[in-house]
Amino acid sequence: MTKSVPKIFFLFLFAHLLIWVLVPSLTNLNLPLDTIEALAWGSNLDWGFNKHPPLSAFAVEIFYQIFGSQDWAYYLLSQIFVIIAFFAVYKLSEEIFNNKKLALLSVLFLEGIYFYNFTTPEFNVNVAQLPFWALTVYYTWRCIKYDKATDYVFLGLFAGLGILSKYLFIYLIVGIKLVFIYFIRKEKKIKSSHYFIAGPITLIVLLPHLIWLTENNYVTIFYGFQRTGGVGDFLDHLIYPLVFLGKQISLLIPFLLMSFFLIKKIKIKINFKDKKFIFLLFTTLAPIFLMLLTSMIMGVKIRTMWMTPFYLFVGTLIIYIFKLHIKLNKLKKFISVFIFLFLLSPFVYAYISISNDKKRTDYQGKAIAAEVERISQGGGYGKIQIIWGDEWYAGNLCYHLKSRPKCFIGQSNQYIQVKTEKFNGFNLMIEDLK
């Protein structure tokens, strides 16, 4: 059985990727909003944008240059990011447990968290974090265990790419910093000068974005602050954290159900001198606690989707705590629940996509782009070069138009402005084109 575990793991990765590429490709008429927005940024690449750092835009633009406006390609891109994260979770768990079966279970656990299935078709900054979050944690462990210069190089690289995905990645950086403080000061395991390699590499990766950020008046930071609702009233310091906790617990119900069928006896014996436990505690629970603390101190909303990468190693942590009460020869009920959830998520996704015809993914983006192109050609305006408008209407046009015009996001209504090679600009209203 142990020898077959890697085969089962890779079969799971392939099945997960195939399902979550095919289902949205077959049931959605249009790409989701966040993916369209990333493509709009990608048409006019820079080292940052009004909402987020640039990595998601770079990723989709690479795929656009290869596949063009093929929707399935961006569902594939999203799943590639997901399975890389799964692979890193498996590799770390294998080192933690020295047991391939427990490592496999750590990944299978993630199918009980909808961040890693139901929401993944929409490639966005949250999904973009996943591989770098998982790889950063993995190489942090390797740095502590082996203290090799190459591992610190990779740690710095992936940490930098993670921050370039989304600023909330910094919560993991804080957790990792706590890990190093513990092992340097308490365990005295790290004495090498290698420790000072990662930080400069992260800064080098971030440098172009930091320059852009300074030149653009820190626009992305102000946007993030606005998304939280700003500093709240007195009651918000209590209400928002409670709402946050309630939502997180509700989202973890399938995960907890899987735990119920895996762990035969709920008996906790925690050793705070156990370096593996401390490592998992700081890299898994510390970022979640810090997010809760942010909500409490500032009285701000924490949006549910922001937590997408935070639970990647929660299965590993749970299994490590209860590993003595897991019987690997009696997994039938757990496997049954896993298969049920594995199949249920795409079924529910497909049902919602097919039954609800008022979603953004039902938008006739391709047809509207064809109409705009007809107007441009019929009026003798020539090739469309630039489009101004909001991220949805203008973004869809830039994605679907064959000329691949640059997209400039600004307006927040259904009017768009079109610039062609023969005409400086004309206005269109999307509603009139439907």
Instruction: Give yes or no: residues 320 and 411 share one domain.
Output: no
In this structure, how many other beta carbons lie within 10 angstroms of the beta carbon of residue 293? 12
Instruction: Give yes or no: residues 293 and 276 share one domain.
Output: yes
Mean residue pLDDT of the chain comes to 91
* Confidence class for position 229, pLDDT limits 50, 70, 90: low
Instruction: Give yes or no: residues 186 and 107 share one domain.
Output: yes
Residue at which a domain ends, from 333, 355, 377: 355
Instruction: Give yes or no: residues 265 and 371 share one domain.
Output: no
Residues 6+ apart with CB under 8 A from 405: 43, 384, 385, 386, 387, 397, 398, 419
Task: Give residue-wise pLDDT tens across range 346-395.
Answer: 999 999 999 988 889 999 999 999 988 888 887 777 889 999 998 999 99
Instruction: Give yes or no: residues 11 and 104 share one domain.
Output: yes
Percent of the chain with pLDDT over 70: 95
Instruction: Give yes or no: residues 111 and 248 share one domain.
Output: yes
Answer yes or no: is pLDDT of 186 > 80.
no
Instruction: Give yes or no: residues 343 and 394 share one domain.
Output: no
CB 102, CB 9: distance < 8 Å: no
Quote the number of domains for the chain.
2
Instruction: Give yes or no: residues 308 and 425 share one domain.
Output: no
Calculate mean pLDDT across residues 38-56: 95
Residue at which a domain ends, from 327, 355, 383: 355
Answer yes or no: is pLDDT of 189 > 90.
no
Task: Give residue-wise pLDDT tens across range 198-208.
Answer: 999 999 999 99
Instruction: Give yes or no: residues 228 and 271 share one domain.
Output: yes
* Confidence class for position 174, pLDDT limits 50, 70, 90: very high
Residue at which a domain ends, from 355, 389, 408: 355
pLDDT higher at 1 or 278: 278
Beta strands in 354-425 (DSSP E): 384-389, 406-409, 415-420
Instruction: Give yes or no: residues 234 and 323 share one domain.
Output: yes
Answer yes or no: is pLDDT of 292 > 60.
yes
* Confidence class for position 149, pLDDT limits 50, 70, 90: very high
Instruction: Give yes or no: residues 114 and 244 share one domain.
Output: yes
Range of the domain at 425: 364-433
